[in-house]
């Protein structure tokens, strides 16, 4: 009975089913307890789902810095988002860098923002690459040892730190198609460009999580 109670408590706490049953089976090494244990875990999960979210969902709601994407879009989201393009929902005000930037300017950018990556554009605004924040921090910490540093003016060759082929999408791409591409490839950033490769905006996991989450909150964001 103690074992069944422990399995039921963990099932209601974590809402795990198959994995939890396998763990208890390995602990007890008793096949005769597998069926009643599965029934207890399934019952505790069903009751827990009717009364509230799991502890992991509560932790995710309490930490706004973590964004999990839905596995797929429901029918209501498809109907609404199919009529929108990535240009309609992207973030148009993007903090960008040039091919060469002063170390002081990069430091100021990192202090004033918390983004994980920054696009690099040329003088005409065409996308050249995307540099991760961690590489900029490392470049500032070791700027005297970088090949791209010019001793005269303290310039850093940002293109040497960047991904020269970032993931891009045309501005006319429907949002559901961009979401499937973003999720299936595990992206962090998706740059929105036009026919001349000019940077129009950027989409991140935060944007997709806000638009594509299920429930009333997701519908309000789409509206």
**Residue-level pLDDT at 153:** 47
pLDDT at 213 over 80: no
- Which percentage of the chain shows pLDDT scores above 90? 9
Q: How confident is the model at residue 131 (pLDDT cuts 50, 70, 90)?
A: very high
**Residue-level pLDDT at 223:** 53
**Residue-level pLDDT at 152:** 42
pLDDT at 150 over 80: no
Least confident of 49-58, 69-78, 147-156, 162-171: 147-156
pLDDT at 192 over 80: yes
pLDDT at 72 over 50: yes
Mean pLDDT of the chain: 80
**Residue-level pLDDT at 29:** 82
More confident residue, 218 or 192: 192
Predicted TM-score (pTM) of the model is: 0.64
pLDDT at 60 over 80: no
Q: How confident is the model at residue 119 (pLDDT cuts 50, 70, 90)?
A: very high
Provide mean pLDDT across the span 34-61.
Answer: 83
Structure tokens at 13: 């706490």
**Residue-level pLDDT at 164:** 78
pLDDT at 157 over 50: yes
Residue 55 CB contacts under 8 Å (≥ 6 apart), including other chains: 13, 14
pLDDT at 193 over 50: yes
**Residue-level pLDDT at 145:** 53
């Amino acid at each position: 009975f103690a074992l069944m109670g422990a399995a039921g408590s963990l099932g209601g706490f974590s809402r795990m089913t198959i994995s939890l049953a396998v763990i208890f089976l390995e602990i007890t090494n008793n096949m005769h307890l597998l069926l009643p244990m599965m029934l207890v875990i399934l019952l505790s999960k069903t009751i827990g789902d009717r009364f509230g979210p799991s502890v992991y969902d509560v932790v995710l709601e309490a930490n706004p810095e973590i964004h999990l994407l839905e596995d797929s879009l429901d029918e209501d989201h498809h109907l609404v988002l199919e009529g929108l393009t990535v240009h309609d929902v992207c973030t148009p005000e993007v903090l960008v860098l040039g091919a060469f930037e002063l170390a002081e300017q990069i430091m100021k950018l990192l202090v004033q923002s918390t983004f994980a990556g920054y696009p690099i554009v040329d003088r005409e605004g065409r996308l050249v690459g995307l540099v991760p924040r961690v590489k900029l921090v490392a470049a500032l910490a070791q700027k005297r040892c970088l090949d791209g540093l010019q001793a005269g003016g303290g310039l850093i060759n940002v293109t040497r730190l960047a991904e020269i082929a970032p993931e891009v999408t045309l501005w006319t791409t429907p949002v559901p198609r961009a979401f499937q591409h973003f999720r299936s490839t595990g992206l962090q950033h998706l740059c929105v460009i036009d026919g001349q490769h000019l940077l129009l905006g950027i989409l991140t996991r935060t944007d997709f999580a806000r638009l594509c989450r299920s429930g009333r909150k997701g519908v309000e964001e789409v509206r």
